[in-house]
A = this chain, B = another copy of it.
Amino acid sequence: MFSHNEIWSAIDKLAQANGYSTSGLAKKAGLDPTTFNKSKRVTADGKPRWPSTESISKSLAATQATLMDLVGFIEDTPIQSTAQAIEHFEVSQNGIKKLNQKPLASLVVTQDDSYAVTLTSAQWAPTYKKGTTLLVSPKTDLQTDDKLFVETANNDIFIMSFDSQDDDTLSLNAIILNEPDRRIQKTDIIRCAKILWASQ
C-alpha cells in the first residue's frame, strides 16, 4: 500500500536523485513536461489525482531505476528488532570504517546466524535508502544478482550484487550510480552476507 502523497513524493525524489526537475523528468520519460505539475496532482475541487502506472514505468526507465528504487523513495515505518547493537561504522570519502561513535550504519546481530544491518547513511541510495534495515545471512550458496553485504580486512564495507566467484576472488557489480564494479580477494574478506530482506 502507498498513499497519494507518497507516490508523488517518490516521483519528486526520483527526479531530484537523478538531477532533474520534476518537469525535466517528465520530458526525459517522453511525457508532456506538465504531466507531473503540482497542479495536476489534485482536481479543481480537491480530489487527489494519481500518476498513471505507465508514466511511472516510463520515468523509471528514463532514470534506469527499478521499482525497487522507487520503493526506496517511499517512506515507511522503521522495523523493530529483537537484536542488540554490537558494532558501528562510519562512512567517509575514503570509505567506510568501523568506529564507536556517531555511527552512520549500525550492525545488530541476532541469536542465530542471520543478523540485521541498519543503514544510517544515504551512501547506497536509491537502492537502499538511509534508514533501511537489511536482514542478512552469512550463508554461502550465492546466486548471480544476490545482493551482498561485504566487509574487508581494512574495514571497508561494500553493498553490491554478486556476479561470480572463483577460488580466490569475489566479483561484485555496483548497485548504485558512479560506483565501479569490483573484484575482491577472498582472503581480504572478513564478512560476507547475503541480503535476504530489506526494510523500507
How far is it, in angstroms, between the C-alpha of A142 and the C-alpha of B169 when the chains are bound?
38
Interface of chain A residues 6 through 61 with chain B (CB within 8 A): 7, 50-54, 56-57, 60-61
Instruction: Report which of B135, B141, B146, B147 forms a contact with A135, defined as CB distance below 8 A.
Output: B135
Is there an interface contact between B78 and A2, defined as CB atoms closer than 8 Å? Answer: no
- Kindly state the separation between the CA atoms of A197 and B199 in the bound complex, as whole angstroms: 11
A195 at the interface (CB under 8 A from B): yes
With contacts A71-B67, A79-B199 taken as known, whether A139 is within 8 angstroms of B112 at the C-beta atoms is: yes
B-binding segment of A80-88, A93-101, A151-159, A176-184:
A80-88
A110 at the interface (CB under 8 A from B): yes
User: Given A51-B53, A111-B139, A78–B147 Cβ distance below 8 Å?
Assistant: yes
A71: min CB distance to chain B, Å: 5
Residues of B within 8 A of A135 (CB): 114, 135, 197
A residues touching B (Cβ–Cβ < 8 Å)? 1-4, 7, 50-54, 56-57, 60-61, 64-68, 70-71, 74-83, 110-114, 116, 135, 137, 139, 141, 143, 145-147, 194-200
Query: Closest 3 CB pairs between A and B?
Result: A1-B61, A50-B53, A1-B60
